[in-house]
Amino acid sequence: MQIWVVCEAEGEGLRRAVRELAAQARRVGGEGAEVTAVAVGDEAGAAEALQGTVHRLLKVEGPAGYAADPWVDALARVLGDQAPDLVLWPEGPRTRDVLPRVAARLGWNAVTNALALEAEDGGLRLLRPVCGGNAYQWLGLAGRRVLAAFRPNSFDPETPADLATRVETVSVEPAAQRAEVLERSGRESERVPLTEAQVVVSGGRGLKGPENLRLLEELADALGGAVGVSRAVVDAGWADHAIQVGKSGKTVSPALYVAAGISGAVHHTMGMDTSKVVVAINSDPNAPIFRYADYGIVGDALQVLPALTRAIREART
């Protein structure tokens, strides 16, 4: 079996989600599988971090920098020529831009927002949400060529490996980019990106005003995590949509999710219900969020958050 992992850089390094996928590919592939990391253009430098963890690193030369049309063309050509059984992608804006178009070009199956990948009866199956996140479905992959995107934090990236990685290079003539990129800009932040974070501290209307969002930031800094908010907070103009967690915002799967002053409407829980451990803080003991919580604190978030932050800082000194 041939399992490929599409590489994506982040800052000066490789996205953690890519390392997760490489590790899981080794686990489920077994002895007969070959795991290939494929890096397009400038991503090749960051992909060197996978040396020793994959059987092959395939560098695709041609496209310079990220642009959708050249990437789609390059990946479709290489995948079509070598026809791997399964191609794993890290969920994110770039994947959502490229994966469906590559699948359409090749006529292969495409699955996005997947949560798990397992070996079963000599084949593989993956888990994905259906019915708007109200249910989950296992899909068998036998006999199909599949492009599958997985949420960050779905797998453990730290599985030991000591492989002799072969490095190969292929060149493709980059396709013309139909849209002209005039400028690239981004917000600088010292925190880990929301969707990649192992800890997410989110707040809702129970914070009572935008001035209290600092309480989320202080706890997130103490835990080394990221800050999220509910849709109600964004709709009220207290915070930017970029940090909204929920159906119309970001989907997160951290090891720890703290929900402070969030009632737990389905719109929000669809974006965080795969979190490993959930701590809910709400003054209403009947709030729906407690149904998802591993630990619940009934109390005013404006009082509980500072107390938690102080306790964590003291424990770490």
Range of the domain at 35: 2-171
Same domain, 149 and 63: yes
Angle, helices 301-315 vs 213-223, to 10°: value is 20
In a domain, residue 29? The reply is: yes
In a domain, residue 82? The reply is: yes
Summarised one tens digit per residue, pLDDT across range 176-207 is 777 777 777 666 566 788 999 999 999 999 99
User: How is residue 245 annotated by DSSP?
Assistant: B
The CATH number given to whatever domain includes residue 242 is: 3.40.50.1220
Instruction: Provide the pLDDT confidence category of residue 315 given band limits of 50, 70 and 90.
Output: very high
Give the residue among 152, 246, 163 at the shortest CA–CA distance from 195.
152
Please provide the average confidence, as pLDDT, over all residues in the chain.
Answer: 92
In a domain, residue 122? The reply is: yes
Q: Contact, 4 vs 26, CB < 8 A?
A: no
Half-sphere exposure of 158 (CA within 13 A, CB side): 1
In a domain, residue 48? The reply is: yes
How much of the chain, in percent, has pLDDT values that exceed 90? 74
Least confident of 41-50, 52-61, 118-127, 299-308: 118-127
Same domain, 36 and 145: yes
Same domain, 146 and 13: yes
In 83-173, alpha helices (H): 93-106
Provide the number of structural domains found in the chain: 2
Phi, psi of 125 (to 5 degrees): -140, 155
- pLDDT score recorded for residue 231: 95
- pLDDT score recorded for residue 186: 63
Summarised one tens digit per residue, pLDDT across range 249-264 is 999 999 999 999 999 9
Same domain, 201 and 296: yes
Same domain, 154 and 203: no
Last residue of a domain, one of 171, 186, 215: 171
- pLDDT score recorded for residue 189: 61
Q: Looking at the predicted structure, is the pLDDT value of residue 208 above 90?
A: yes
Summarised one tens digit per residue, pLDDT across range 80-139 is 999 999 999 999 989 999 999 999 999 999 999 999 999 887 789 999 988 877 789 999
Same domain, 156 and 205: no
Least confident of 75-84, 173-182, 231-240, 281-290: 173-182
Question: Residue 128's CB: how many other CB atoms inside 10 A?
Answer: 18
